[in-house]
Amino acid sequence: MSKKVITSIILCSSLLFVSGCGGKNIPEAEPVTGAEIETISTDIADPDGVTDQEMKQFFAKFLDISEESLLMLNQRPKEVDDEYWSVYRNYEVETNKIVGEYLSSSAKNKLKKQYLHDDFHFPRFIELNDYMVTGISNVSDAKITSKRVKEDSIVYEVRVIAMANVIDLNWARLKYKWDEEKGYYVEDNIVETDTYEGDEPGSDRIRVAMDYFVEVPDGDSFTVSSVREKTGLHLSMDEHGHMKNNNFITRLSFLNATIAKEEEVIHKFVDTFFKEDYNFYNYYRKAHDTDYDTFRLIFENDLGLADVVELQEDYKLQFEPSIIPLKDNMEALSFDVMEDVVTIPHVSSSANLSTYQVTINADVVLINGQEVPYEYTYLFILDKERRITSVRLLTQQERDADDVQEAEENDLDSTEEDLDLEDEEL
């Protein structure tokens, strides 16, 4: 993986937490909770009409198209000439091939008319964080979240959960160019590789939620008259195709739960690195400023973490001095890694990288001997080999005394409940 791609991943993963890292549909700048990781579920459905399962089966066919089809279906030629008619004929054939069995009579009639329309918003290139979405696959869920009855049809609002195939955004901007005549992106056959640092980056997969309006006419069978992205913007057909138009799509965490073996790796790092004294951290800063080999020896010799850390050439971005927990008049941290450390999946996780939000509730010992409760929140990134490739500090704040007491009382209640259950079993 190139240095530029690694840098982009590290920066975007942390910025998702604080600013959104580009794009409009990014989780807000607050720590995520376990509840936010799950997909949005609703009980809204039409008992006498379309079911969630039918919507899921439809979108599994509607969204899973090749890149070649994507590039063709989204073309909107500027001039009505021979190329326009060629695009129209290809659009008609491809639409029938993909969802022909679902097309309503009105959709079939409109498709036969000699012009392009925007009744069906097929997958297209979308900018999302530091990625460009190049395709959708593996629809795992579809939920009807609301419906609106029209004169002879029902418009369903549907949230679809699926996997998105993505590539690095900077590389995508070199590989694909907007063609004014075709009204969509085309692949650039001559990519200026000298403008991109490193090798061509590989693809990745992320998990996304997409919101659509699906119009279904009255009738005994499930047919579709239109499928449009849910957006608050009124865009023309020419404007719709631009990849910055991403209001209908939201990124979700690729991981549904913390992977036990990855949590063990994180715990080993946390229980070692964050329990060092002030003198060690001073040396850490100096080694970080010196060179790669000097810094590498810290993890190999001083910390014994070489087996869980993947140090790379851009190490200065991987493990910045800002992750040091001791500031100003702090002397040491005290915490139990099993009780005071919480690890949950972060929204920036993908198929290639596991990212976790790690919260450490610690007592900070000040140089005057006083102990002050603090909460630290970090972002940990692990590669496929379950080695830590980056740690970023997200927040550091003193904990309120009332919050600490409430947490301790909750822990005590949980312990008492567990004891009661054990007594019942006996």
State yes or no: pLDDT of 134 exceeds 50.
Answer: yes
- Does 236 share its domain with 363? no
Average pLDDT, stretch 11-33?
41
Integer Cα distance of 132 and 245 in angstroms:
12
Mean pLDDT over 321-349 rounds to 96
The mean per-residue pLDDT over the stretch 287-296 comes to: 96
Number of domains in the chain: 2
Tell me, yes or no, whether 157 lies in a domain: yes
What confidence tens digit (pLDDT) does each residue in 395-413 have?
Answer: 999 998 666 656 555 555 5
Check residue 410 and give its pLDDT. 59
Instruction: Give the torsion sign (CA, 136, 140, 146, 152).
Output: positive
How confident is the model at residue 237, as a pLDDT? 77
In the beta sheet, which residues pair with residue 330? 366
Residues 269, 239 within the same domain? no
- Both 47 and 123 in a single domain? yes
Indicate whether 129 belongs to any domain: yes
Other C-beta atoms lying within 10 Å of the C-beta of residue 28: 8
Domain membership of residue 101 (yes or no) is: yes
Report the mean per-residue pLDDT for the chain: 85
Measured at the CA of 209, the angle between CA 163 and CA 155, to 5 degrees, comes to 120
Please indicate, yes or no, if residue 23 is contained in any of the structural domains: no
- Examine the pLDDT at 198 and tell me if it is beyond 70: no
Are 61 and 186 members of one domain? yes
- The more confident residue out of 115 and 391 is 391
pLDDT at 40: 37
Same domain, 175 and 248: yes
Q: pLDDT grade, residue 97 (50/70/90)?
A: very high
Please tell me the distance from the alpha carbon of residue 225 to that of residue 150, in angstroms, as a whole number. 13
Q: Residue 395 domain-assigned?
A: yes
Please state which of the ranges 46-60, 92-106, 286-300, 302-316 shows the lowest mean pLDDT. Answer: 46-60
Residue 116 — very low, low, confident or very high, per pLDDT cuts 50/70/90?
confident
On whether both 294 and 378 belong to a single domain, the answer is yes
Average pLDDT for 33-37: 36
For the ranges 110-114, 220-224, 300-304, the lowest mean pLDDT is seen at: 110-114
| Residue 79 lies in domain | 34-252
Q: Which of the four pLDDT bands, split at 50, 70 and 90, describes residue 30?
A: very low
Lowest-confidence pick of 22-26, 289-293, 304-308: 22-26
Query: What is the distance between the alpha carbons of residues 17 and 21, in angstroms, rounded to a whole number?
Result: 9
Q: How confident is the model at residue 27 (pLDDT cuts 50, 70, 90)?
A: very low
The Cα–Cα gap between 303 and 319 comes to 14
Q: What is the model's pTM?
A: 0.80
Tokens of 177: 């160019």
Among 29-33, 38-42, 237-241, the range of highest mean pLDDT: 237-241
- Tens of pLDDT, residue by residue over 217-253, are 998 789 999 999 998 777 777 788 999 999 999 999 9
Rounded Cα gap, residues 184 and 240, in angstroms = 10
Task: State which of 252, 281, 299 marks the end of a domain.
Answer: 252
CA atoms within 13 A on the CB side of 235: 19
Helix 52-63 × helix 82-99 angle, to 10°:
140
Contacts within 8 Å (CB) and 24+ apart, 229-237: 229/121, 230/157, 237/76, 237/116, 237/117, 237/118, 237/183
pLDDT tens digits, residue range 278-287?
999 999 999 9
pLDDT at 191: 56
Which residue, of 232, 252, 272, is where some domain finishes? 252
- Residue 154: name the closest of 233, 50, 58, 35 by CA: 50
Same domain, 381 and 405: yes
- Are 203 and 221 contained in the same domain? yes
SS3 letters across 299-348: HHHHCCCCCCECCCCCHHHHCCHHHCCCCCCEEEEECCCCCCEEEEECCC
What pLDDT does 277 receive? 93
Is position 287 within any domain? yes
Q: Is the pLDDT of residue 296 over 50?
A: yes
Q: Can you give the chain as a three-state secondary structure string?
A: CCHHHHHHHHHHHHHHHHCCCCCCCCCCCCCCCHHHHCCCCCCCCCCCCCCHHHHHHHHHHHHCCCHHHHHHHCCCCCCCCHHHHHHHHHHHHHHHHHHHHHECHHHHHHHHCCCCCCCECCCCCEEECCEEEEEEEEEEEEEEEEEEECCCEEEEEEEEEEEEEEEEHHHHHHHEEEECCCCEEEECCCCCHHHCCCCCCCCEEEEEEEEEEEEEECCCCCCECEEEECCCCCCCHHHHCCCCCCCCEEEECCCCCCCHHHHHHHHHHHHHHCCCCHHHHHHHHHHHHHCHHHHHHHHHHHCCCCCCECCCCCHHHHCCHHHCCCCCCEEEEECCCCCCEEEEECCCCCCCCEEEEEEEEEEEEECCCCEEEEEEEEEEEECCCCCEEEEEEEEEEECCHHHHHHHHHHHHHHHHHHHHHHHHHC
Residue 112 is encoded by which pair of tokens?
Answer: 């036969």
218, 252, 286 — which closes off a domain?
Answer: 252
- Of 254, 247, 250, the C-alpha closest to 121 is 247
User: What pLDDT is recorded for position 280?
Assistant: 96
Q: How confident is the model at residue 39, as a pLDDT?
A: 36
- Using only C-alpha atoms, what is the Rg of the chain? 26
Alpha-carbon span 241 to 235, nearest angstrom: 9
- Asked whether residue 61 carries a pLDDT value surpassing 50, the answer given is yes
Banded pLDDT at 334 (limits 50, 70, 90): very high
Distance CA 376, CA 405 (A): 18
Long-range contacts of residues 287-290, Cβ cutoff 8 Å, at least 24 apart: 288/315, 288/316, 288/319, 288/320, 288/321
Whether 385 maps to a domain, the answer reads: yes
User: What's the confidence (pLDDT) of residue 133?
Assistant: 97
Same domain, 318 and 404: yes
Q: What is the Cα–Cα distance from 390 to 310, expressed in whole angstroms?
A: 8
Instruction: Decide if pLDDT at 2 tops 60.
Output: no
Tell me what pLDDT residue 35 has.
Answer: 35
